[in-house]
Structure 1
Amino acid sequence: RERAERLRAEVLDKGALIDRDAVWELKRQALEQVVRVPLGPGRRAAYDAFRAEEGQALEDHATWYALAEEHGPDWRTWPEPLRDPRSAETARARARLADRVEFHTRLAWLTDGQLRAAQRAAEEAGMPIGIVHDLAVGVHPVGADAWSQQDHFAAGMSVGAPPDAFNARGQDWGLPPWRPDRLAESGHLPYRLLLRALFRYAGALRIDHVMGLFRLWWVPEGSPPTDGTYVRYDAEAMLALLALEASRAGALVIGEDLGTVEPGVRETLQRRGVLGTSVLWFERDWTGDGRPLPPESWREDCLATATTHDLPPTAARLTGEHVDLREKLGLLVKSGADERADAVADTAEWLALLGSLGLLDAPAAGPPGSDEEAEIQGFHRFLLRTPARLVGIWLPDGIGDRRPQNVPGTWDQYPNWRLPVSDPQGRPVPLEELTASPRLGALLAAVRAGLGHSGP
C-alpha cells in the first residue's frame, strides 16, 4: 500500500509519467494473493468451462507469460526450442511451470468476467450501446500472439502508413502484419476467433485503421516507411466474417477510416453497415473551395468527433500548442512559422463557421483560444448539428488537456500512453476530481442541451 501511495503521489503531486511497469508489479503482487483463494464449486465449474471453451489459445497465452517470466519478454531471444509453441521442449516447460501457467490462466478468466460485468453494468445503467471496444491494427511483435500464431504473421515486416498530409515521412507502427495467404489457408481462423472474443463484451466495436481489411502498408524491417508497399487482403471474406459476428452479438461496428483511404473503401464499408469516423478538422470541401464543411453536408453513417487519441486535444488546436509539439519532435513539413500561420487560419475558419451558425454563446474578441472552454462547447454543438449517427467526446477535451495521448510516427521520442489526463496547467487530475469537474460538467450539459435532454 505504501508503494501504491508513493506512485500515486509521484503522478498527482509531481506530474510524473505513469510508470506502467511499477503499476503492474503492484497489481501482480495483489493478484498472487487473489489466485491463492480456493474456488467454490460454482466458480470452479465456471472456470473449467472457460478453460474448455478457450482451449489451445488460452493455454498458449498463459504459457507465453510463464516463459516470459523466466526468459524475458522477447520470445525471439529464448532458447531455440522454446521459440516453437508446439515443440516437445515447450511442452516440458509448460508442465514444469504449471503453477505460473495456472496463474495467468486464472487472470485471463478474471478479466473475462470483469469485461462481461462491465457491459452488463452499462446496459443496466440505461446505456443503449454500452461499452465500445477497440480492435487494434496489430499485435506486439514479441508478444504472446506473435509467438503462438507466428505462422500467420509476416516475419521481417511491419505495418505502417505511406506519406500523407498528416505525416510526410510516412509511419512505421512496429506491428507484424498478418499473411493473407496463411489467413486464407486457415479460413481466417485467427481473425474469426479474435472478433468472437471482442464481441463477447461489446455493444460496439471500433476497428483501428479499418482500411487494413482491404490492404496494409508493409514496411521491411530496418527500412524507412517510404520504402513500404501495399499488400492486399481478402476484404470480402474479412467483411463477411465481421458482419456475421457483429450480427450474432447485436453490436455496432465503427471503422476508423482516416488517412489514405482507397477509392471505394468507404462505400463498401457503408454497404456492409460499418460506420465511418469523421473528425471535425478533416471535414472540408476538398473537391471545391476547401472551406469547412457545413454540418448538413457531413455523412450520416459515421461517428463524429472533434478529435481522437491520435490527434491533438482541441485546446491544443485552439492555442497552437500542437504545432510547437510537432516542431519539437521534428515532424513538421514546412517551417514552424508557416505551420503556425496555417494552424491559426484553419482554426479561425472553423470558429467563423461556428459563429455564423450561432453555436458560440459569446464569440471571443481575441484570437482562437481566447475563450477555449466556450469554443470547445461550440465545436460539440456543431457536431450535434450533423446527421452523424454517433457523436463522441474526447475526455481530455472536457478539462482542457493540452497533450495528445499518442503521437503517431513516434516511438521513444514522446511518452505515448504514459501521460495522465491533466488540466490546462498540466496538473494531473485524479478520477475523483474528474467526475466532479465543473468544466467537464458544463461540456456535458451543452451536449445534453444539443440533444434536447435536460437530465444526466
Structure 2
Amino acid sequence: MNQSVIDRLLEIRGIESDYIDAWGNPAHIDPASKIKLLAAMGYPVENENALVDKLELERQQVWWRALDPVQVNRVDEPLLFTLRLPIELVNDRYLLRLSCESGDVIDQPVVPSDGELINVGEVQDDEFQEYLLCFNSPLPPGYHQLSLLAEDEQTLAMMRWIVAPAACYTPPAIADGDKVWGLSVQLYCLRSENNWGVGDFSDLCQLLEKAAGQGAHFIGLNPIHALYPANPDACSPYSPSSRRWLNIIYLDVTAIEGFNEPGIQSICQQTLFQQQLSQARASEYVDYQLVTELKLAVLEPLFAQFQASDLASNSALAKGFYRFIEEGGESLKMLATYEALQAHFKAQGLPYWGWPVFPTAYSEFHKPKVQAFAKQHAEQVLFYQFLQWQAARQLEKAHQVAEKHAMCIGLYRDLAVGVSEGSAEIWGNQSLYATNASIGAPPDVLGPLGQNWGLPPMDPQQLYLQGYQPIIDLFAANMRSCGALRIDHVMALLRLWWVAKGDSAKQGGYVYYPVDDLLGILALESQRNKVMVIGEDLGTVPDAIRSKLADNGIYSYRVFFFEQAQDGGFYSPAHYPVQSMSTLTTHDMPTLTGYWHCLDLELGQQLGLYPSEALLQGLFHARHDNKQRILDSLHGHRSIAASISGQVDEVGMSNALNQGMQLHMAKGSSALLSLQLEDWLEMDAPVNVPGTSDEYPNWRRKLSTTLEALFADPALKSLSEKLTEARQQAAQHSSR
C-alpha cells in the first residue's frame, strides 16, 4: 500500500497519530489501528487501486460542488465564503440570493473572478478555480440559505449558512454572580409512595417542588432518551435508541387523561396486577421488564380510549397531538415505526434486539417493506407517537414546576455521547454512522484498560455533507423543557476515541470533528432556548479544548476527587473556575461512603476489573493516601469539626464527615454545585460500574428511601439550609 496515500487520507479524515494521555505522558496510535479506522469509514484499504479511485472521486466531488454544503460563522466575523466553478464560467455574472430564516431575502450580484483566487484544480481535463468572496450584508443569528443563481435565476448551487452568537446562554442570576446548588439523580432510582417501581415524571415534579422549597435551584437528571419498550432490560441511559426522544418508562400512567375511567380502573384493580405492582415497588432494583409490562398493559387501553373519544371528536387534545406529530416529522415517525416493528418481531418469536438482526428487507427505515409495514400497522405506530407526546407533556409540566418556584435553572438534562448499535437513530440514518467502529476512551484513571462503549460514532464527513442537521436536531431536542444541558463527554465536539469492531479499547485512535462549527451550533441553540450548557470534561482532555469551551460560554465540570495538585494535595474548591459546576462524585464513581471505605475497589476486584494484583494494591495505597490528603484539606479549611481525627486510619465515613465534605464544596467558587441524592442518604452501592455489563446490576439500584420520607427528614432540611447559607457566603466573598 502506498504510504503517502494513506498518510494523506489520515490527515484529510482527521485521524490523529499522537496524543497526551490522562497521566500527561505522550502516547502514540498504532499504525494498524489507524488503517482499521479508515476501513471503518468505508475506505477499501486492502485494495490500493480502489482506494486511489475513491480518493479521486471524493476530490472531484468537492470541485463539482460550487458551494460548500454548510458553513458556520459567528456574528462578529466577516461573511467570507468560497465558490468553485470551471474556468470558462468564472467571469460570468451571477446572483447570490440569501434566504434568511426570518423570511427576508437579500440579493447580491457577483462575478467570481472579482474575488481572491485561492485554489486551482483539474477534473477530467477541465480546469476549475476556487475564489474567496464576501457577502456584504450583515446577518442575524440563525439558519439561512445561500443560493447561487444564473442570470435566468436558475439555481446552480445552495449552501446552508449558519450564523451563531459568540457564546452559549448564561442565566441572568448566574451572570450576576449568584452561586447555587442542586441535586443530581438518576430518575429511575426514585422511590415514592405512588410510582410503579421506577421514578417517573410526577416524582420529578415532586422532587423539584420539595428541593426548591429547601433552597435548591436545579435538579440534574441522567439522560432520559428513548430506550427500547420491546426490550426493557437494555436499560443503560447512555446507550439509547434515540437521543431526540424520551424514555416512555418515565410516564406516570395515572396522570394521563382517562386513567380514572371504569374500564382502565378495572385493569388496575385486578388481583394479579396489584400483586405485580407491589412487587415492582418493593424490589431493591428496578425490574424494567415488569414495570414496562404493567405500564403498557394500561397505556394501550388508554390510547384506545383516546382514539374513541378525542381523536374521533377532533378535540383540543387531539389537535395538540396532531401538532406534535407534525412537528416531530420523519424523526418521530421513524422512532414509532421502529418500536412497532420491534414489538412485531418479538411477538412472532423472531430476533428483535435491533436492526442488525432484522430481516434484510426491514434493516433500514426508508426501505419499501418498512413503509408498507408502517401503513399496515398505522394504529400501532400512532400508539408509540402517542406515548412520546404524553412523555413530552409530562416533562414540560415538570419544567413548569421549576419555573413556578423561581428556580434559576430548574431541570438540567444530560445528553449522551452516542446511541447503541441497534438503535432507531442509526436505523433511520445509517450513512451517518460508522457501524464497524465504536467510541470509548483510552486507558485513564476511571478505566485502566480503556473503555469501549459499544456506540457507533457519527462520521464527521457525513455530518458535514448533511448540513449538520442531525446535530442541530439533537441539540434542539435536548434543550426542550429544561434550563441547562450537560453534555456527556464534551470532548466529542473536538475528537472521539474510535475503536474498530473486534479490537480492544486500548487499540483505538482519535478522530477529530469540526469543533468550531459544532460549538457555534451549540451556542445558537443555547441562546434560542435560553439553556445554559455544562460540558463533562473529564478523562483525557487536551488543554486547548478547555479554554475553547470556556470562551464559548460552556461551564466546566469539576469533580473534587480529580482536582489534585502535582504534590497529591486536593485543590480547595475556592480555587475552582467560577465558570464551572462542581461536584463530589458522579454516576460513574462510588458514593462518598463507597469511596471512603474502598467498596468500589473491593467490588472491582470481585468483578475482575483489574489486570493484576499489583495494580489493585497500588490503587488501595493511592486511595489511603488520597483520603489522608482529603482530611488534611477539610481540617485546613475548617470544613469538619476538630473532634474528627486528622489521621485517616482513625476515621470512618460518618454523617459529620459526609456533610462536612458537602459543605466544603458549597464554600467553593464554582457558580454551580451539584450533590448526589445517594450521598444525602449515605448510600454505599454505586449505580454503575464502568467496564461492566451483566457482571453488576448497572442502572437499576434504587434510592434507599422514598421522596416523601427524604424531605421530611429534619437532618437533611438542616443540611440544605447550611448549603444555601454557604453558597450565599461564597457569592458575597467572590463579589468583594
* Same fold (TM > 0.5): yes
**RMSD over aligned Cα atoms:** 1.9
Cα contact 2:286–2:702 (8 A) shared by 1? yes
Greater Cα shift, 228-237 or 34-43: 34-43
The question of 1:298 aligning with 2:576 is answered: yes
Partner residue of 2:652? 370
Distance, in Å, in 1 between the alignment partners of 2:280 and 2:604 is 24
Which amino acid is 1:31 matched to?
Answer: L
Q: CA shift at 1:224, angstroms? A: 0.7
Greater Cα shift, 398-407 or 2-11: 2-11
Cα contact 1:355–1:363 (8 A) shared by 2? no
Taking structure 1 as reference, are residues 175 and 361 closer, same or farther at Cα in structure 2, changes over 3 Å only?
Answer: same
Cα contact 1:318–1:368 (8 A) shared by 2? no
Distance, in Å, in 2 between the alignment partners of 1:93 and 1:297 is 59
The question of 1:34 aligning with 2:302 is answered: yes
Corresponding residue to 1:22 among 273, 283, 290: 290
Gaps of 5+ in 1: 423-428
Partner residue of 1:115? 395
Q: CA shift at 1:384, angstroms? A: 1.9
Cα contact 2:593–2:653 (8 A) shared by 1? no
Matched position secondary structure for 2:675: coil
Corresponding residue to 1:55 among 326, 329, 333: 329
Partner residue of 1:327? 605
Cα contact 1:399–1:437 (8 A) shared by 2? no
Partner residue of 2:710? 434
1:173-192 deviation per Cα after TM superposition (whole angstroms, max 9, x unaligned): 11111111110001111110
Distance, in Å, in 2 between the alignment partners of 1:450 and 1:32 is 49
Partner residue of 1:340? 620
The question of 1:445 aligning with 2:721 is answered: yes
Distance, in Å, in 2 between the alignment partners of 1:371 and 1:182 is 51
Task: Indicate the structure (1 or 2) with the bigger Cα radius of gyration.
Answer: 2
Greater Cα shift, 324-333 or 98-107: 324-333
Cα contact 1:381–1:446 (8 A) shared by 2? yes
Partner residue of 1:390? 672
User: Larger relative CO (CA 8 A, sep 6+): 1 or 2?
Assistant: 2
Cα contact 1:318–1:372 (8 A) shared by 2? no
Cα contact 1:347–1:368 (8 A) shared by 2? no
Q: CA shift at 1:130, angstroms? A: 1.0
Partner residue of 2:433? 153
Taking structure 1 as reference, are residues 148 and 368 closer, same or farther at Cα in structure 2, changes over 3 Å only?
Answer: farther
Partner residue of 1:426? none
Which amino acid is 1:357 matched to?
Answer: H
Which amino acid is 1:167 matched to?
Answer: G
Within a 5 Å distance, the mapping from 1:243-258 to structure 2 comes to 243-258=523-538
Cα contact 2:667–2:727 (8 A) shared by 1? no
The question of 1:44 aligning with 2:44 is answered: no
Cα contact 2:568–2:629 (8 A) shared by 1? no
Distance, in Å, in 2 between the alignment partners of 1:412 and 1:190 is 32
Taking structure 1 as reference, are residues 6 and 282 closer, same or farther at Cα in structure 2, changes over 3 Å only?
Answer: farther
Distance, in Å, in 2 between the alignment partners of 1:129 and 1:323 is 35
Taking structure 1 as reference, are residues 436 and 48 closer, same or farther at Cα in structure 2, changes over 3 Å only?
Answer: same
Partner residue of 1:404? 686
Within a 5 Å distance, the mapping from 1:57-456 to structure 2 comes to 57-71=331-345, 72-286=352-566, 289-332=567-610, 334-365=614-645, 367=649, 370-422=652-704, 429-452=705-728
Which amino acid is 1:390 matched to?
Answer: L
Distance, in Å, in 1 between the alignment partners of 2:474 and 2:428 is 14
Q: CA shift at 1:355, angstroms? A: 1.1
TM-score relative to the length of structure 1: 0.93
Which amino acid is 1:408 matched to?
Answer: P
Taking structure 1 as reference, are residues 405 and 3 closer, same or farther at Cα in structure 2, changes over 3 Å only?
Answer: farther
1:21-63 deviation per Cα after TM superposition (whole angstroms, max 9, x unaligned): 2111111111112212232521111111111111111110110
Distance, in Å, in 2 between the alignment partners of 1:362 and 1:23 is 48
Distance, in Å, in 2 between the alignment partners of 1:96 and 1:252 is 43
1:376-431 deviation per Cα after TM superposition (whole angstroms, max 9, x unaligned): 21112221222101000111000111111111221112111011123xxxxxx233
Cα contact 2:411–2:483 (8 A) shared by 1? yes
Distance, in Å, in 1 between the alignment partners of 2:627 and 2:589 is 15
TM-score relative to the length of structure 2: 0.58
Which amino acid is 2:594 matched to?
Answer: A
Q: Identity of paired residues, percent? A: 32
Q: Give the structure with the larger helix fraction.
A: 1
